[in-house]
Amino acid sequence: MTKISKFTVDYLGYVVKGGPKFYGWLGFLSIFILVWVYGNYMQLTEGMIITGLTDQVSWGIYLANFVFLVGVAAGAVTVVFPAYVYKHEAMHEVTVLGEMLAIAAVVMCMLFVMMHMGRPDRLWHIFPIIGIFNWPHAMLTWDVLVLTGYLILNLVGGFYYLYKKYCNEPLNKKFYLPVIYVAIVWALSIHTVTAFLLNTMPARPLWHTGMMPIRFITTAFAAGPALIIIVFLIVRKNTKLWIKDEAINLLSQIVVWCLGIALFLTLSEVVTELYHPTEHSLGLQYLMFGHHGLNNLVPWFWGSLIAMVAAFVLLLIPSIRKDYSKLPYICVMAFLGIWVEKGMGLLIPGSIPTPIGEFTQYSPTFLEIANSLGNWAIGFLVLTILLKGAIGIMLGDIKYAKDEGGK
């Protein structure tokens, strides 16, 4: 057996085996995936009419989750960057876990985009050569490029590292380091382009602001590491892999400062828009205060703002930040706050009012929510498998054994 096929066999053999906790978790996720199968069947046969979307609000929670998850994927760079640019030792040991998270997040992004499409059966129309790829004009084609590129960079970087570790061979730095450095810059590009996807539309004044890319990056670099902290603490508790305190402390500092900048940018935008509100501020006004009794989004906005402010203030206090019994809860708060801010707080009110001034509310249907939860469940399934394999290799549970080749 060649080394690479042995790697594949050992890796797959390892990741599907686990204790009752592991199978319990997979079983829990598969409940959502079963509902997802039904929801997708309905959407593919009936069309997008099973969603709560309308001609007025034609982009909903599918795209909102997509936008958020691009940020999570980009947020993985908060592990890679300190490790390779600042030579942070503790972070360096666990870089590959960040890459695994990025892969899982991009997989979720792709699921959400596919679900947003009215004709997923015609996906090939966007492939270069066999279809038409309207590049460089259409921002969506840029998004396809950067996301695919980011997925490939992380797959190559992550699995090359794991493979070498498995074989107990040194890394070829001439190959590996360029991949890592390109991936760092690339991570910024994915969320920048996603912001450009929205903010290059003058027809949607809420989005048409030059602040959006930097707001996206800062919220991503808060939500991404917040999730990574939670994952790291779970890994510490449930596996033999000990992730050092320094790595977690650095991540929580990144979260707090990025949250602070994000809140400042939100404040700037609110003051700019509302000091003398124009027609272009109607979307923000609707989001914050509602419009003649139409106030679906109001609790989401304020809830998200409170969560973000509270997380920021609490994380500013070192004794709380370093208390790992409290930290994961604050991270959940920050993560959910940003998830709402980019979804209900940004993507939906971009369509309200419509370009001709009509206020139409949007509420996702049960199937729409089920499909979205299913995508998350698949993402967590992928993440679990990837992390399990990576940790197995890092701990030496899976390694290349020459002697065993013969038996």
Partner 1 sequence: MTNKKIPVNQPDDQTPCSCSDPQTTPTCGVADDNVSESRRGFVKNVSGLSVASLMGTAALLTNSDDAHANTEWAEWFQGNYRLMSDEEKARAVARLERRYSAEFGKKVTVDTTPPQEGVLFGYALNIQKCIGCRRCVKACVQENNQSRGEREIEWIRVLKMEKGEFTVKKMKDGYPGDYGIQVGGNAYSASGVVLEGEHYYEPEQVPDEDAFYMPIACMQCEKPPCVKVCPVRTTYREADGPVVVDYNWCIGCRMCIGACPYWARRFNWGEPNLPKEEMNPVTHYLGNRPRMKGVVEKCTFCIQRVRKGRYPACVEVCPVGARKFGNLLDPNSEVRKILARKRVFRLKAEMNTYPKFFYYVD
Query: What is the total count of residues that contact partner 1 (CB under 8 A)?
Result: 47
Of residues 353 and 379, the one with the C-beta less far from partner 1: 353
Minimal distance in Å, beta carbon 319 to partner 1?
45
Of residues 351 and 384, the one with the C-beta less far from partner 1: 351
Q: Which stretch binds partner 1 (CB under 8 A): 84-92, 200-208, 285-293, 379-387?
A: 200-208
* 125 φ, ψ (degrees, to nearest 5): -60, -25
Minimal distance in Å, beta carbon 42 to partner 1?
11
Q: Is 55 in the site for partner 1 (CB under 8 A)?
A: yes
Gap between the Cα atoms of 42 and 84, Å rounded: 46
Of residues 155 and 201, the one with the C-beta less far from partner 1: 201
Q: Is 358 in the site for partner 1 (CB under 8 A)?
A: yes
Q: Is 141 in the site for partner 1 (CB under 8 A)?
A: yes
Gap between the Cα atoms of 349 and 111, Å rounded: 23
Q: Is 356 in the site for partner 1 (CB under 8 A)?
A: yes
Q: Count other Cβ atoms within 10 Å, centred on residue 89.
A: 12
Q: Is 282 in the site for partner 1 (CB under 8 A)?
A: yes
Inter-residue contact 346 to 194 (CB < 8 Å) = no
In the list 2, 203, 275, 292, the residue contacting partner 1 (rule: CB under 8 A) is 203
Q: What stretch of H or E contains 371?
A: helix 366-395
Find the angle CA(40)-CA(42)-CA(48) to the nearest 5 degrees.
Answer: 85
Gap between the Cα atoms of 291 and 77, Å rounded: 40
Q: Is 118 in the site for partner 1 (CB under 8 A)?
A: yes
Inter-residue contact 60 to 348 (CB < 8 Å) = yes
Return the percent helix, strand and coil in the chain, to nearest 5: 75, 0, 25
Minimal distance in Å, beta carbon 59 to partner 1?
6
Q: Which stretch binds partner 1 (CB under 8 A): 26-34, 115-123, 249-257, 398-406?
A: 115-123
Q: Is 365 in the site for partner 1 (CB under 8 A)?
A: no
Residues 332-351 that bind partner 1 (CB under 8 A): 350-351
Gap between the Cα atoms of 105 and 95, Å rounded: 16
Of residues 253 and 361, the one with the C-beta less far from partner 1: 361
Residues 6+ apart with CB under 8 A from 295: 289
Q: Is 277 in the site for partner 1 (CB under 8 A)?
A: no
Q: Is 263 in the site for partner 1 (CB under 8 A)?
A: no
Q: Is 323 in the site for partner 1 (CB under 8 A)?
A: no
* 19 φ, ψ (degrees, to nearest 5): -85, -175
Residue written as token pair 């809830």: 303
Tell me whether residue 20 is exposed, middle or buried, using C-beta atoms within 10 angstroms of its C-beta: 0 to 12, 13 to 18, 19 or more: exposed
**Residue ranges in contact with partner 1 by CB under 8 A:** 46-49, 51, 53-56, 58-59, 116-123, 125-126, 131-134, 137-141, 144, 198, 200-204, 279, 282, 350-351, 353-358
